[in-house]
Amino acid sequence: MTEVETKTELRGAAARLFTGGTVLCDGAMGSMLYGRGIFINRCYDELNLSQPDLVRAVHTEYLQAGATVIETNTFGGNRIRLERHGLEEKVREINRAGVRLARECVQQMAEKHASEAFVAGAMGPLGIRIGDGNKVTEEEAYAAFAVQVKALVEGGPGVGADLLILETLMAMNEARLAIQAAKAEGQGLPVIAMVTVDVNGNCLDGTSAEEAARLMTEWGADAVGCNCSDGPATVLAVIERMRTATKLPLAAMPNAGNPRVIDGRHIYLTSPEYMASFARKFIKAGATFVGGCCGTTPQHTRAMRGALRAIGAQETGVEVVENGGAAEAGAARAQSKVMPPDLKDRSRVGAKIATGEFVTLVEIVPPKGIDSSKELEGAEELHKLGVDAINVPDSPRASARMSAMSLCVQIQQRVGIETVLHYTCRDRNLLSIQSDLLGASSIGLRNILCLTGDPPKMGTYPDATAVFDVDAIGLTKIVRDMNYGLDIGGHSIGQSCGFTIAVAANPGVVDIDNEVRRFAAKVEAGGEYGITQPVFDLRLLEQFLKRIEQFRIPMIAGIWPLTSVKNAEFMRDQLKVRMPEEILARMGAMPSPEHAKAEGIAIAQEMLEESRAMVQGVQVSAPFGKYKAAAQVLGVL
């Protein structure tokens, strides 16, 4: 199917939400009000007039949970729906009140937390079939939508809505009329149009997801998508199908599964964690606007916020911090009186990188117990050989080990060689990340490798919970800001932490385009040098380095001396390292374990010699604590 797009020129502050980055929208209003004791036979839109504090409370909770866009309590605020409650004469009053309440909450949040959010005028379906002999003609339906749009945007920028969200559209003729009314009467504000679908992913009038996206694009919507429906999985499938039919931004706002009646109440059982897992999938499928519908709560929004952090999602150029606040981090750095020391003055590793000298690192994995004597002996031996620093992984493969920071301190204090601390955000929230980094700087740890970390399910305790408030990109930003003397919220910590900032790269991944994009984001976030995963195919390393030429930083190549053909197969199958067939053949041809280890060292030496001209250093691993093997590899230097 041919993709289509429009060239609509958008107006208003919310227009930039449509130009890139991910936008987190709020969740349900109706089910939140229902949960506060409002009977289902009430007109929820009328609560804007009779119980405004209740509506304000819901808006505020979503803003505190991290929503960037909140929808007005006007889903049923059109004349035809209000007529059922005898309120058809109060369309303007109810919709204006809905916008005013949302605007007040956004302004209060901006004053208290320096955060930016936007008010979306919410418009739902008319709840009745249109045209073809039905009770409502197309002209009457258009007029109902138009009157509501005028009320929502009345007052212009900063007073009326910032954008319009047409949601839960069930039929294409209704979608067309709603979009046309929004574009004609909406003062040029952006319009998001979302359909609801059945379990097969088709609109309730039988229109396919692809055709719905194509038509709504043709009619002038500025973003299209799917909301409510049968839960996150169904909406994900619809978004994936819509992506093939339009180039417009996509919106995904599912309900929290199907409700169940428990003790006479409709309860949605989909957990915040489950919704958060789908938030990641929505983004990977191409969604720009992510939020929730029926049954979702501020807890779901907060979990989704964490998921968006974990994949490095950005909201309109604003870096998000906990509790929905936001710091204009770039401006804060520009205004900070603290500047980080020159790279050459932060550490010995930093000095060698800054001056272009070749850097040698060896990886030592922390012990599984409290006895680190073997690791310290290995570090001592490597120090004597002239290795520049010891890399210490942070519970690799989510295994339970001594903390990397503890081993780094012991190595630096007892051996006198510098360390590079691998630091992951797998099991730390934003507060503990900040505490750890402040502590690391205070005890002289100056080299940080920022990593996302392996998920707990692949480790020794698969039932352990993950945090992932940020991923490696977000972590890199935090470390960079602390170098400017700023905490996570942009507040002064008094002085620079003085870290050198390393970031990781994997030239051998299948989706190399995504790896290049993420590496570019890491460099933009503050990465000062890169360390690759173990490299066994130098063609891949060379190709990756060419791909990153325009934003390349000094690169250190990972080198791994294989110990056996099983070790090679494990790296290929479990660690997803690209392993050439010729290397597998060489390792498999060895007649004994001793010969295999010697061949692994020989292969690693070849990798080092051949990659030396491409990179500014090497990180040699010491598999299974074989530090002499790492030393032998470095012997070719």
- Which residues are documented as binding site for Zn(2+)? 228, 293-294
Angle subtended at Cα 490 by Cα 485 and Cα 496, rounded to the nearest 5 degrees: 5
3-state secondary structure of 92: helix
Instruction: State the Cα–Cα distance between residues 87 and 27, nearest whole angstrom.
Output: 26
Is residue 315 within 8 Å of residue 24, measured between CB atoms?
yes
Instruction: State the Cα–Cα distance between residues 241 and 138, nearest whole angstrom.
Output: 29
Q: How far is CA 185 from CA 147, 188, 195, in A?
A: 8, 8, 21
3-state SS track over 355-386:
CCCCEEEEECCCCCCCCCHHHHHHHHHHHHCC
3-state secondary structure of 196: coil
The count of other CB atoms within 10 Å of the CB of residue 439 is 12
The annotation places the binding site at 228, 293-294
**204-241: b (≥16 Cβ within 10 Å) or e:** beebbbbbbbbbbbebbbbbbbbbbbbbbebbbbbbbb
**Structure token digits, residue 179:** 């979009």
Cα 613 off chain centre by: 35
Is residue 347 within 8 Å of residue 500, measured between CB atoms?
yes
**Structure token digits, residue 310:** 């974990």
The burial class, CB within 10 Å (0-12 / 13-18 / 19+), for 411 is buried
Total number of residues shown for the chain: 637
